[in-house]
Amino acid sequence: MTTARILEELVAGYQDALAAKFKTDDKSHRPKSIQRLLAQSTRRRWRHLAVERLDTVKPVIPLGKRFWVLAPEERKALTEMFATNSVRATLTALRDRANDDPIELLDAAYWMKGCSSLGRLRYAALLRIGKIKNPSLCLVDVKEGAPAAAPAASKAEMPRDNAVRVVTGAKSISPNLGERMMAGRLLDKAVVVRELMPQDLKIEIDQLTREEAMSLARYLAGVVGRAHGRQMTASQRRAWRSDLAKFHKAALDAPSWLWASVVELISLHEAAYLEHCRRCALAEAA
């Protein structure tokens, strides 16, 4: 029931955002839970990020359920990628680092992160950037750029490289995040590289009340709605909003495609994970 209500708020928040005035940057709609998170984020430091993501403040990535050991060729490929000029330039441009600061790969592991990592490259890399006297630790998320699930408009100029497409989209939807992302190549595949910051707070859904979850859903859907709306003309926004309204008339009646997509995604993830476990069991028995 809570999931159904959250999806309702997603649709409502998205539609409301499409009807907003796009020449202003009104932040009064932020729910109190988001305001608390933003206030908390300004006080966070490296140790907070390390404990949240790695469960330790030591400069290591602990292997276990979430982080898996790398093959030698994976570690070598990561080291080579972080030495490339394009990746170096973005990493050293953040947090007042110098362009010539050395980058050292301290540790790395495969990062198991639900359905977004199944069958794809996904790594966590711990870097040390800077001179010996004043280095900074840096946690980097490396994720394979997957093909687009949605078709592109016939006249749209869409990057053929999946990682470039993802980074370009992120810069349009969330510039503050997109500017910290870069496209790279790893093991002959396109990957998106992003430094994780202490201010990148995760929203833990299981720690929220139903009302807080619904409020956050409406707010976050509004963020996406405004990002999409900025890329449309006023007439395009009205037409798109009208199309959405046709399939959203009654209470608890979010578009069937939205509900079906959520259910399908969950079922695909669970089925793929169980099949992975079955194959591992057969390999051990062989």
pLDDT tens digits for range 182-203:
899 999 999 999 888 766 666 6
User: Mean pLDDT in the chain?
Assistant: 80
Q: Is the pLDDT of residue 143 over 70?
A: yes
Confidence of residue 254 (pLDDT cuts 50, 70, 90): low
117 and 111 in contact (C-beta within 8 Å)? yes
Residue 220, exposed/middle/buried by CB under 10 A (0-12, 13-18, 19+)? middle
pLDDT at 83: 85
237 and 18 in contact (C-beta within 8 Å)? yes
210 and 2 in contact (C-beta within 8 Å)? yes
Residue 139 CA: distances (Å) to CA of 58, 93, 109, 110, 183: 12, 15, 11, 13, 17
More confident residue, 152 or 167: 167
More confident residue, 23 or 130: 130
Q: Is the pLDDT of residue 276 over 70?
A: yes
Residues of the chain above pLDDT 90, percent: 13
Whole-number Å distance between alpha carbons of 261 and 25 = 31
244 and 19 in contact (C-beta within 8 Å)? no
Confidence of residue 251 (pLDDT cuts 50, 70, 90): low
Residue 130 CA: distances (Å) to CA of 16, 94, 96, 138, 281: 46, 12, 11, 10, 45
